[in-house]
Structure 1
Amino acid sequence: MRVNKPEYREAKGFIAEVVRTNRRKSADIRVEEGAVTVVVPANTPAERIDDLLTAKRRWIKEKIALHQEMAPASSKRYVSGEAFSYLGRNYRLKVEKGPFAPVKLVQGRLVVSVPQGSQQPHMIRNALIRWYKRQAELKLKEKVARWAPQVGVEPTGVAIKTFKSRWGSCTAKGELQFNWQIMMAPNRMVDYVVVHELCHLIRHDHSPEFWGQVGRILPDYEQSRDWLKHNGHRVSAL
Structure 2
Amino acid sequence: MNKPLINDIAINAEQADLIEGQGYQVHIVRTSRRKTASMKVEDGVVSIVVPKSLAHERIQSLVEAKHQWIIEKLAIYQASKPASEKHYVSGEAFPYLGRNYRLKVLQGELKGAKLLNGRMTVTVPEPEAQRHYVRKSLENWYLRQAQKKIREKVERYRTVVGVETGVIRIKEFKSRWGSCTPYGDLEFNWLIVMAPNRIVDYVVIHELCHLIHHDHSPSFWKEVERVMPDYLEHKEWLKEHGHRLGF
Pick the aligned partner of 1:208 from 212, 215, 218: 218
In the TM superposition, what whole-angstrom CA distance separates every residue of 1:61-96 from its partner, at most 9, and x where no partner exists? 655654554443211111111111111101011101
Cα offset for 1:179?
1.0
- Structure 2 residues without counterparts, runs of 5 or longer: 1-10
Q: 1:200 to 1:224 in 2, by over 3 A?
A: same
SS at structure 2 position matched to 1:153: coil
Q: How does 1:1-238 map to 2 (within 5 A)?
A: 7-12=15-20, 13-14=24-25, 16=27, 18=29, 33=43, 44-45=52-53, 47=55, 51=59, 54=63, 66-116=76-126, 119-234=129-244, 236-238=245-247
CA distance in 2, matches of 1:100, 1:68: 23
Quick one: which amino acid aligns to residue 203 of structure 2?
V
Question: What is the identity, as a one-letter code, of the residue corresponding to 2:141?
Answer: W
1:177-235 deviation line (CA, Å, top 9, x unaligned): 1111111100000010111111121222111111122111111111101001001122x
TM-score by length of 2: 0.78
Cα offset for 1:35? 5.6
Taking the aligned partners of 2:124 and 2:25, their CA distance within structure 1 comes to 10
Q: Which of the two has higher C-alpha Rg?
A: 2
Query: Cα distance, 1:119 vs. partner?
Result: 4.1
Q: Residues 112 and 122 of structure 2 are in contact (CA less than 8 Å); yes or no, is this contact kept in structure 1? A: yes
Unpaired segments of 5 or more residues in structure 1?
none
Alpha carbons of structure 1 residues 133 and 15: separation in structure 2 relative to 1, 3 Å: farther
Give 3-state SS (helix, strand or coil) of 1:128's partner.
helix
Matching residue's letter, 2:103: L
Greater displacement, 146-155 / 55-64: 55-64
The structure-2 alpha-carbon separation of the partners of 1:64 and 1:154, relative to structure 1 and needing over 3 Å to count, comes to farther
Q: Percent identity?
A: 52
Q: Which has the higher contact order (CA 8 A, sep 6+)?
A: 2
Alignment: residue pair count? 231
Mapped to 2, the partners of 1:14 and 1:121 lie a distance apart of 12
One-letter amino acid of the structure 2 residue matched with residue 51 of structure 1: I
- Whole-Å separation in 2 of the counterparts to 1:198 and 1:21: 38
Residue identity in the other structure for 1:192: Y
1:9 partner letter = D
Shift of 1:44: 3.2
Instruction: Tell me whether 68-77 or 195-204 shows the greater mean CA deviation.
Output: 68-77
> Is this contact kept in 2: 1:159–1:177, CA < 8 A?
yes
SS at structure 1 position matched to 2:213: coil
